[in-house]
Amino acid sequence: MTHALLVIDVQNDFCPGGALAVPGGDEIVAPINAMMDEFDAVILTQDWHPAGHSSFAGSHDDKNPFDMTEMRYGPQVLWPDHCVQGTEGANFHPDLNTHADLVLRKGFRSGIDSYSAFFENDQKTPTGLEGYLKSRGITKLTLVGLATDFCVYYSAIDAARLGFDVTVRMDACRAIDMDGSLAAAETAMREAGVILA
Active site residues: 9, 106, 151
- The torsion angles phi and psi of 138, rounded to 5 degrees, stand at -85, 125
**Cα 3 to Cα 101: distance, rounded to the nearest angstrom:** 13
**Cα 76 to Cα 154: distance, rounded to the nearest angstrom:** 14
Query: What is the 3-class SS of 94-154, one letter each residue?
Result: CCCCCCCCEEEEECCCCCCCCCCCCECCCCCCECCHHHHHHHCCEEEEEEEEECHHHHHHH
C-beta separation of 183 from 189 below 8 A? no
C-beta separation of 138 from 110 below 8 A? no
Pairing of strands 68-71, 74-77: antiparallel
**Cα 36 to Cα 142: distance, rounded to the nearest angstrom:** 11
Read off the amino acid at residue 56.
F
